[in-house]
Each structure stands twice: as C-alpha cells, then as structure tokens.
Amino acid sequence: MVPKCHHSLRVIITPMLRVDFLTLFPEVIRGALSHSMMKRAEEGGIVRFGTTNIRNFCYDAHSKVDDVPYGGEPGMLIRAEPVALALEAIGACPKTRGPGTAVISTDPTGMLFDQRIANELASLSRIVFLCGHYEGIDQRVLDQFSTHSISVGDFILTNGELPALLVTDAIVRLLPGVLGSEASLSADSHSDGLLSAPNYTRPEVWRGIAIPEVLKSGNHQAIKRWRRDQALKVTKLHRPDLLATASLDKGDLDVLSF
C-alpha cells in the first residue's frame, strides 16, 4: 500500500529559452558558448543553443551566399533568399513563430543595446539572431522577418556573430539558475540605473593598500549606504548621462551635490 501524502508538492518548471543563430560561421558561435556560464546553462537545461548555416540554403553550384549591392556601393551583401529559407526551415518566419519569439538582426543602425533590453529579451521563450557579414543582409528580408535590430555600440565589426554572442551572454545570465548567486544580479552595474560601487576581496591589505574600513564594520546599513554613495560618485564621474534616468532620492542628491 502506498502511504497517503499529507502535503501537496508543487513543482515549478522554468521554461527553457531557445537561442538560434543564423550564421556563416557556426563554429565561432559554438566555440564561444562551450565554456563557463553559457556551457553550464545549456547543460543545466536552462537554455538551448542552435546554429544554422545560411550557406546550406544556397542552391547554386558554388553555394554563393552574397552578391554585389545595387547602386554601386562597395563590398558584398548577403542575399535575401538563403536567409529567408533558413528562417523558414527553423520555424522562425512570421506565420510559424510563436508569440514569445524575437528575430534579431545585429546592425549598427539598430537600437542601442542596454540592460533594459536585456531584461525584456530574457522574458521570451525563443530568440533568433541573424548574423550578418560583409556589408550586411539584404534589407528586404530584414523588413519581412526581423522583429528587432540591435546595435552594441557606435563602432563597426567585421561580422554579426560577436554582437550576437555579447547580447546572448547579457540575456542568459539573467535566467534563474544561471548565476551561482541570484543576489549578484541586483549588485551589477546598470541593474538600478547606476554603475556599481568598487569591490574588494582578500587580502585585507594588498601592497600597502587597505580596503575601506566600513566594509569590515559588520554594519550592514552603513555598508549599504557606502556602496550607494560610491555608485553615485562613480556614475557621476564616468557616465553622468545615466543619472538623468536613474531613480534618485534626496540622500542621493545630497551626495551628488558635492
């Protein structure tokens, strides 16, 4: 006889995030994701990574994925059809993708990536990156298939794999169970609109330089105030633009006035 259970057992299942990369260089993606946090997140069933080689959807004798741009622009451009076929093959076209899916092109003309966007994307169930190369991807397929265009900064890279990986890292680390300490997320730079305060570890004195006394005091309120004050000062010094959107109280304004 099986004994009756007097307590209901609630099992919480966290949905797995699926991240796909449409790329000409799947080995670059897999190489970067096979280490550290990203590897552990995939092995732990928190995220699943997939790569699709765009070149596999070129149906000519030489698997030619690019062509010259119209209008006499220099360089080469990835053609629309291989990208469209690849997206359709993985179920990421507008008719087949789910409501929690983002199809992201990495492009210097896109919106500037920040922590707010990372938080939004981390709530989705699937993300597909279109990794451009050469001079990018034919605009027509981007207009038809992509939901987001993201830039990681005001500079140009030779490929879209690196920004896609950067954005992926920022998103995946937010998922429950990825970091060893969930509390560390709230201490990160940009988590509250400010840069983070300086951090110190052992030894207490290194090459004649001691850590701030307050960190040894055991006074949690004093430490919290010190960290907040330091975050304000660091942000004012290095990224004063962030203060315009940060949530500040009167105590913060007093610190910033000096």
Positions marked catalytic: 108, 135, 173, 188
Residue matched to tokens 């950067």: 166
Q: How far is CA 38 from CA 49, 120, 214, in A?
A: 9, 19, 35
Backbone angles phi, psi at 177, to 5 degrees: 95, -5
Q: Which two tokens stand for residue 108?
A: 């210097």
Q: Which of 46, 28, 69 lies closest to 161 in space, CA to CA? A: 28
**Looking at the chain, which runs of residues are DSSP E strands?**
17-23, 47-53, 66-67, 77-78, 101-112, 126-130, 148-151, 205-206, 209-210
For the chain, the farthest-separated pair of C-alpha atoms sits apart, in whole angstroms, at 81
Q: Which two tokens stand for residue 223?
A: 């430490």
* Residue 160, burial from CB neighbour count under 10 angstroms (0-12, 13-18, 19+): buried
CA atoms within 13 A on the CB side of 93: 11
